[in-house]
Structure 1
């Protein structure tokens, strides 16, 4: 008689409740801290001060305070332009200014429509171009004391203008802006070639620009001491930077340059964010640091050279506008739009002050910006790093 084998426990399949058509399908558990869904833009906490604008494949990250500051600066710019159109040796009421702008003419058509408005528009465009150029150069060099003036753009434009006047290659004064633009671009290209050594280091780039600028300044001074009095006075007036006697002939080309550069500026506003970090961190994020630095430098030099050709070398606007914009917005990187608006407000206000400070005399706006920018530079050197 044999012993009975123990029965093996039967494995039973767990019963499942049948899913009815109205019941949702089960989904994997999600983390309680997850605030996004796949394929959607992430949401940021309110404390970060950021929000995302997303349209299909395009997304743009905006800083709330930067957007608010840009709106306030735009209102300030509009008020400064209106005040500049009204104020002067002849006061024009705002209603008459608005009448001239609508094309109805009137007794103030010559003063407002042909003298003040073109000058004001040119000042706003030059200030915006210098502000953006300073933001680009300071981000690339990672130095708040850098500006297109430091890397030799203004000195190259001045030297080219002086050589053109000395050799008589310029047939008309209207060709001087093109000559100054070519000189600024050539000087910046020379600085870049001499500073390049297995990559671009910001310190070498700035020091090379300072050296080239000193050499070009010596060329200008040599011409001023050896030239005739009339030619020397013309060069001195151009070197101070002034909006007097300038209008649509200079404003329209600069406006076209800014309009054509708009796609590149949109790209630059996104490229500035990773370049504000450490170069190794930016490279780890997949950014081609050297290519981005070269592209941003070229864009900044083009803007600065075009602005210099339109109004002469106006100093300290490209230096102060980005830093003022950063302190107003408290953004982690230099804000491009706020820098442009700050530069426009600063230059329009400075030109208004230069016109109305000592009537009937008119101070060149470049001299006034240098007078204000010098103490600011000293304060920037002494201030603790933020």
Structure 2
């Protein structure tokens, strides 16, 4: 009998039961703990800072249920918005990691495959036709639009299997077409309706809270078993298609499952806060650079996305008081240069392997 193979450097084998063993990457664990601490600090800072400064001790007492002079600001205005920002950022980080795993392209994101454009087009059409009687129904409409757009991209990109390069290019084409629909509506609509659509298109957490955070939290909780499965199949999927198939992985089915999971998370996040760009693109790549792992770490991608969005929303509220910048505009302003930097670091001649 051959001796047991030693774990790879930097990893630890954890055996919660005699029949179950888990391979734990130590650096990923340390990074996750640091990111969790930074996220908690950012959330506390967001609860304290604003047009009215509230000391951290008073914020913590209010969260424990003690009455205070700023109870309304903390419980009703800031905390629901902060929690929603963390949930949206986590969902976008996870979605970006899943899409980039499928496409094996660090420049891919849910927006590339049409999720954000589909959500925007569906919202615009619902407002234009009067199909939505209540503004509260708009998140459901945007989720349906994002799912429909991603499904269309998947069907058009399928040619005896899913080719990642064809998938990305088809998504870009569908996104351009849907953007034209939105621009046509903005050009011909009434001023009030156009302003409402423009505000939604920038992506903002202003005026949103528990009503939007609740459904997103449920989706994330229900997705946990699927995310555990995704973390297991991501490593062999990072190899070329033939090698992954030789290892027993049903490549097309796995790609479909990961894509569907990523699209659901991105569409739900978009429905809750509008299209917020570049978080899904940057969070997985930042997490991988921090953990130094070959595959995209899902947990750290979620924590990075949550930290980035909570921090961006805090900056959007406090940079130019009393003016509030939509958080989607701020992430785009920062994410654009990051995308150019990432493009500059890509080696020449790299393609999208199938």
User: Which of the five TM-score ranges fits, normalised by the shorter chain?
Assistant: over 0.9
Q: Between Structure 1 and Structure 2, which shows a larger proportion of helix residues?
A: 2
- Pairs within 5 Å for 1:202-221: 202-221=164-183
Deviations 1:25-81 (A, max 9, x none): xxxxx76xx3x3xxxxx5425xx1112223344332221111110110000000000
Is 2:192 the partner of 1:263? no
Is 2:62 the partner of 1:100? yes
Q: Given that residues 43 and 51 in structure 1 are in contact (C-alpha distance below 8 angstroms), is that contact kept between their aligned partners in structure 2?
A: no
RMSD, aligned CA: 1.2
Is 2:158 the partner of 1:196? yes
Is 2:116 the partner of 1:144? no
Aligned residues: 347
Q: Given that residues 141 and 206 in structure 1 are in contact (C-alpha distance below 8 angstroms), is that contact kept between their aligned partners in structure 2?
A: yes
Give the secondary-structure state (helix, strand or coil) at the position aligned to 2:14.
strand
Give the equivalent residue in structure 1 for 2:125. 163
Unaligned 5+ segments in structure 1 are 1-29, 37-41
- Pairs within 5 Å for 1:1-20: none
Report the Cα distance in structure 2 between the residues aligned to 1:320 and 1:163, rounded to whole angstroms: 30
Report the Cα distance in structure 1 between the residues aligned to 2:248 and 2:67, rounded to whole angstroms: 57
Give the secondary-structure state (helix, strand or coil) at the position aligned to 2:23.
strand
Give the equivalent residue in structure 1 for 2:212. 250
Q: Given that residues 180 and 309 in structure 1 are in contact (C-alpha distance below 8 angstroms), is that contact kept between their aligned partners in structure 2?
A: yes
Give the equivalent residue in structure 1 for 2:7. 44
| Cα distance, 1:384 vs structure 2 | 4.2
Give the equivalent residue in structure 2 for 1:26. none
Give the equivalent residue in structure 2 for 1:118. 80
Report the Cα distance in structure 2 between the residues aligned to 1:384 and 1:164, rounded to whole angstroms: 40
| Cα distance, 1:207 vs structure 2 | 0.3
Give the secondary-structure state (helix, strand or coil) at the position aligned to 2:113.
coil
Structure 1 length as normaliser, TM-score?
Answer: 0.88
Give the equivalent residue in structure 1 for 2:26. 64
Report the Cα distance in structure 2 between the residues aligned to 1:56 and 1:93, rounded to whole angstroms: 49
Deviations 1:237-278 (A, max 9, x none): 000000000000000100000000110011111111111111
| Cα distance, 1:213 vs structure 2 | 0.3
Structure 2 length as normaliser, TM-score?
Answer: 0.96
Report the Cα distance in structure 2 between the residues aligned to 1:58 and 1:210, rounded to whole angstroms: 43
Larger Rg: 1
Give the secondary-structure state (helix, strand or coil) at the position aligned to 2:248.
coil
Deviations 1:75-123 (A, max 9, x none): 0000000000000000000111011101112111111110000000000
Give the equivalent residue in structure 1 for 2:39. 77
Unaligned 5+ segments in structure 2 are none
Give the equivalent residue in structure 2 for 1:27. none
Report the Cα distance in structure 1 between the residues aligned to 2:213 and 2:40, rounded to whole angstroms: 17
